[in-house]
Structure 1
Amino acid sequence: MNVSVRQAVLWGVRVLGQHGCDSPRLDAELLLAHAMGLTRARLLAQFDRELSPAELARYRQLIERRRAHEPVAYIVGHQEFYGLDFYVDRRVLIPRPETELLVERAIKLAGEVGDRGYGLYPLTLADVGTGSGAIAVSLAVHLPQATIYALDSSAEALEVAARNVRRHGIEGRVHLLRGDLLSPLPEPVDLIVANLPYVSEAELAELPPQIRRYEPLSALDGGPDGLRHIRRLLAQAGGYLRPQGAILLEIGATQGAEMIELARRYFPMASIEVVKDYAGLDRVVIVRTR
């Protein structure tokens, strides 16, 4: 039986929809494009094309994996973030669109901090808990004069980050360091940027299956109130910041007020701002030292 692209997509949509996938149409198109070695745009331009038996077999296998709630990014092996494409696998969290706000604010603030340096020293940033390296690589691409340290306690995560550093040709400017939070840093930095685990124990149990079953829970678990790692980072940060440096942290949607209080405890003279995302939820806290 001959099967066209259109028929294959409709079958995938039906199967995924029956198994509770949030975006069955998009998922089916992405998986079919991957099975056929096409971009999604090229796939959509060939809806009447017939699949070869090998393409159809590959597609069925991919749909089976997605039907079991495995994330599409892990199935196809990559995820777009901040306009760049990143390799991902189950050793790291999948980069999220909401984290782009953290990168956006870091780039903006880096420009202000760099201007204060009058070119006397290179702008230096630390991405703490780098995971896939998406934040560090995005910063390096958009801040070509900056030096970036990408830190993680997981050797496996750093292997993925190294692959993405090579993928974007920035080996000389992103330095991968393994260790606990800020401890591997060889020098003070202008900006500390971190998307640390901030999911509370109660929230962890309620995560959807595609996260709970497949993504590394150690990269999500923030302890009883979600702030265990952030507290430790703030306690360390003062010793690793240059004068008038700043800390930018991604936080949970309801953690803004508590984060202001927590940051004030460690940086009583700092300017502290909570930035809401496009859905109006707390997303980034910025601590600017004086």
Structure 2
Amino acid sequence: MTGNAALAAATRRLRAAGIPDAPRDARRLLAHAMGIAPDRLVLHLSEEMSDAAEAAFDALLSRRERREPVSHIIGSRAFYGRAFHVTRDVLDPRPETETLVELALSQPFSRVLDLGTGSGCILLTLLAERAQATGLGVDLSEAALAVARQNARTLGIARAAFLRSDWCGAVQGQFDLIVSNPPYIAADEMPGLAPEVRDWEPEMALSPGGDGLDAYRAIAACAPPHLAPNGRLMVEIGPTQGAAVAALLRVAGLENIAVHADMDGRDRVVSAAKP
């Protein structure tokens, strides 16, 4: 079977399974099965696939039919131009989180704290873009911290430290930038999530339960003492949470509070500064 024939059959198969964007997923999985870069796939589609590649491709498609995310199947996800290792122990990096990264990079910083670091994609991206900065990523999950440490090693970033902590509980010192993409999905919204998210990503990274604001309450209470004077705090939010999160940060004594939209025009980040 040629790559072209395999790709056509796979697209039909994934569509029949109700997979969103079946052609894209089929291409990514075919490239992985053939052991080539996705952007080189078109150069190899006319070639005959080996028996091993066909068998590998069939196994990958079976996993995708069960709604396992492509990033879990191939083991990585692109974020801000870099590949990050991901597993079921961490939140899958998403394009909208790049909004937070862009805002953080808009002003200088030398020491950054990432609360709930997960894969480390936010912290490690910020450090990769700012060669003189150092940072600390904290997470309650030891399994997530293992993934973040692996990503730091792969990217060659030795300026990142990682620590198990319940938000700021074990954190010491002050930072001129604190960032976080905390769990913010309300309990009653969880059943409506796509199966790729609801069934495959860690619930503790998706939802704190209740109204979805508990993580922001914790951050508003613990982060200000760890901000240096004029230090910035930036948190990712759900698109309906801007006003509520801004109010929490205002009560915590922070200033210059603003709500920022993502590339699709939805509220995505709340920023604030310490006086």
Q: TM-score, normalised by structure 1?
A: 0.93
Q: Indicate yes or no: 2:82 matched with 1:104.
A: no
CA apart distance, 1:183 = 2.1
CA apart distance, 1:222 = 2.6
In the alignment, what sits opposite 2:198?
212
In the alignment, what sits opposite 1:19?
17
Q: Deviations over 1:130-187 (max 9, x none)?
A: 000111110110011111101111100000000000001112x101111110122221
Q: Indicate yes or no: 2:271 matched with 1:286.
A: yes
Any conservation in 1 of the 2:99–2:263 contact (CA below 8 Å)? no
In the alignment, what sits opposite 1:179?
165
The AA in structure 1 aligned to 2:27 is E
In the alignment, what sits opposite 1:133?
120
Q: How many residues align?
A: 275
Equivalent residue in structure 2 for 1:250, among 233, 236, 239 = 236
Superposition map of 1:110-189 within 5 A: 111=108, 114=109, 123-171=110-158, 173-189=159-175
Distance 1:45 1:76 in 2: 20
In the alignment, what sits opposite 1:273?
258
Q: Deviations over 1:93-128 (max 9, x none)?
A: 11000000111111113x1xx4xxxxxxxx111011
Distance 2:118 2:224 in 1: 23
Distance 1:159 1:15 in 2: 35
Any conservation in 1 of the 2:124–2:152 contact (CA below 8 Å)? yes
Any conservation in 1 of the 2:29–2:60 contact (CA below 8 Å)? yes
In the alignment, what sits opposite 1:51?
49
Equivalent residue in structure 1 for 2:213, among 222, 227, 231 = 227
Equivalent residue in structure 2 for 1:195, among 164, 181, 197 = 181
Distance 2:43 2:266 in 1: 37
Distance 1:40 1:261 in 2: 44
Equivalent residue in structure 1 for 2:37, among 35, 39, 54 = 39
Any conservation in 1 of the 2:183–2:208 contact (CA below 8 Å)? yes
CA apart distance, 1:263 = 1.5
Distance 2:153 2:12 in 1: 39
Q: Deviations over 1:17-50 (max 9, x none)?
A: 1111111111001101101100112211122101
In the alignment, what sits opposite 1:67?
65
**Cα RMSD between the aligned structures?**
1.0
The AA in structure 2 aligned to 1:43 is L
Q: Which runs of 5+ in 2 are unaligned?
A: none
Distance 1:260 1:161 in 2: 29
Q: Deviations over 1:39-88 (max 9, x none)?
A: 11221112210111110000000000001100000000001001111111
Distance 2:18 2:65 in 1: 8
- Percent identity at matched positions? 41
Any conservation in 1 of the 2:123–2:137 contact (CA below 8 Å)? yes
Q: TM-score, normalised by structure 2?
A: 0.98
The AA in structure 2 aligned to 1:226 is G
Distance 1:17 1:81 in 2: 26
CA apart distance, 1:224 = 1.2
Runs (4+) off by over 3 Å: none
